Amino acid sequence: MTRAPTLTVVVPTTTNWEVSQGGGLESFLRDLSVEAQKRTIPLLLLSTGYRELHQGCVTVKPIIERVRSEFEFVRALRKRVRLDLSLVPPGAVILANAEHYVWPFLSTTQPILLLAHGAVPPTLTRTRGRLKALVFERAIESRAVRRVAWIAAVSDQTVRYYAEKFPNARPKIIRLPMGIDLSRLPRVPGGLPLLLDETARPKVLFVGRLSREKGLPLLLSASSILRARIPGLELFVAGDGPLADWLQKEARQNPHIHPLGRLSRGRVLELMQECDLLAITSSYEGLPTVLLEAMALGLPVVTTNVGIASEVVRPEIGVVAEDEPIAFAQGMEVALGINRTAAIKFAESVRPEISFTKTSDCLFGLLLKAAESHL
């Protein structure tokens, strides 16, 4: 596989490499680091943490020990970039996972590739208000889109967003196929002791950060509605976050809700094999790691129409439902009726299409193209 010998990829991220927090973006970066090692492409992660790490061709360089938000991190990174011109090596390409990660590098000369997970302003409007979204659009988004060499969009919906909002940027928008590291998947079902009571059926699983964007209240409401028709339904929630205390209170009042806390990625994959349905209730979803993992394992899914859900979810494996309790409960019921044997057969057929190898081939190709065009 051809590549530029001097190519170095620089990725700003709030991930502390020594602490596994889970989540789609962290999984993506760890998979990317594995692929960089295979290709012997230097990967420099500008991150949070306490000490610099070296793992083969992957270097982790902390910018700040800890942060409370991504915007706190990018402010610290912007200051560091201004003070230390050697922070980004000559010939490097910057891989920014959102427009605000472009902001610290606006005054630099290195090419930047924007990995676009989705439209940030609508999410900001829901979580922080329209004024915050407007400031983001005017001060960060438009400047970032002008500055980057390529926009790698993870869904057709994201491609349309950028193409319609920024017509002049259309030539540099590329659809990036999203995948997962299939080698992480359990090879033998039930390889570890069961986490859950085998007699409880059906088991519905939620995996993700316990935050407003993940839509956990919607799932609890829909589950309560569905229990009127399926009294044995049990809901298992794997994750941690701002809504953890609220979830514990709900669980005390509703015995069918089971908070599991944060679990390792391997344990989550084992847990998927014990459950009957994965539920995704997000109002926004960037990197759909958990959706692709469930599909690869043949676990039926019910999901709101976020990310690439409408592009990859088929009747053989799941349902795309409206983000309203009654409609989502109906979607859950339909998905629970999916034949598991047919779902597993479907999973076997789509695995080659959702391999992270396809993602990394495309992404490193774009990074190389950006580096070459800058020479």
The per-residue pLDDT for 249 is 96
The per-residue pLDDT for 265 is 84
Q: Which of 286, 223, 282, 283 is nearest to 255 (CA)?
A: 223
Backbone angles phi, psi at 176, to 5 degrees: -95, 120
DSSP secondary structure letter of residue 351: G
Indicate whether 321 pLDDT > 70.
yes
- pLDDT band for position 73 (cuts 50, 70, 90): very high
Indicate whether 130 pLDDT > 50.
yes
- pLDDT band for position 115 (cuts 50, 70, 90): very high
Average pLDDT, the chain: 89
Distance CA(308)–CA(302), nearest Å, equals 13
The per-residue pLDDT for 90 is 84
Structure tokens at 221: 């409401």
pLDDT per position as a tens digit, 183-241: 888 764 444 445 555 656 799 999 998 988 899 999 999 999 999 999 999 999 999 98
Distance CA(374)–CA(108), nearest Å, equals 13
Q: Which of 137, 145, 136, 197 is nearest to 171 (CA)?
A: 145
Tell me whether domains 8-179+355-374 and 183-354 share a fold. Answer: yes
Can you give the residue ranges of every domain in the chain? 8-179+355-374, 183-354
Stated pTM of the model: 0.85
Name the more confident of 262 and 326: 326
The per-residue pLDDT for 195 is 55
Answer whether 124's CB lies under 8 Å from 133's CB: yes
Fold (CATH) for 183-354: Rossmann fold (3.40.50)
What end-to-end distance do the CA atoms of the chain give, in Å? Answer: 20
Distance CA(142)–CA(113), nearest Å, equals 15
| Domain boundaries 8-179+355-374, CATH class | alpha beta
Name the more confident of 121 and 299: 299
